[in-house]
Chain A
Amino acid sequence: MSAVKKSSDYVNPYLAGFCLGLVLLSAYVLAGQGLGASGAFASTLSWLVGMVSPEQVAGNGFYEKYLDPGRAPHPLLDWLVIEVAGVMLGGLVSSLLAGRWRLTVERGARLGAAPRLLLAFAGGVLMAVGAQFARGCTSGQALSGGALLNLGSWVFMMCVFAGAYLLAYVVRRAWL
Chain B
Amino acid sequence: MSALVTGLGVVAPNGLGTEEYWAATLAGKSGLGPITRFDASGYPARVAGEVPGFTAADHLPSRLLPQTDQMTRLALVAADWALRDAGVRAEELPEYAAGVVTAASGGGVEFGQRELQALWEHGREHVSAYQSFAWFYAVNTGQISIRQRTKGPSGVLVTEQAGGLDALGQARREVRKGVRLMLSGGVDGALCPWGWVAQLATGRVSEAGEYLPFAAEASGYLPGEGGAILVVEEAAAARQRGAAHRYGELAGYAATMDPAPGSGRPPGLGRAAANALADAGLTAADIDVVFADAAGVPELDRAEAAVLVDLFGPYGVPVTAPKSLTGRLAGGAALDVASALLALRDGVIPPSGPVREPAAALRLDLVCGAARPAPLRTALVLARGYGGFNAALVVRAAN
Q: Do A and B bind each other?
A: no
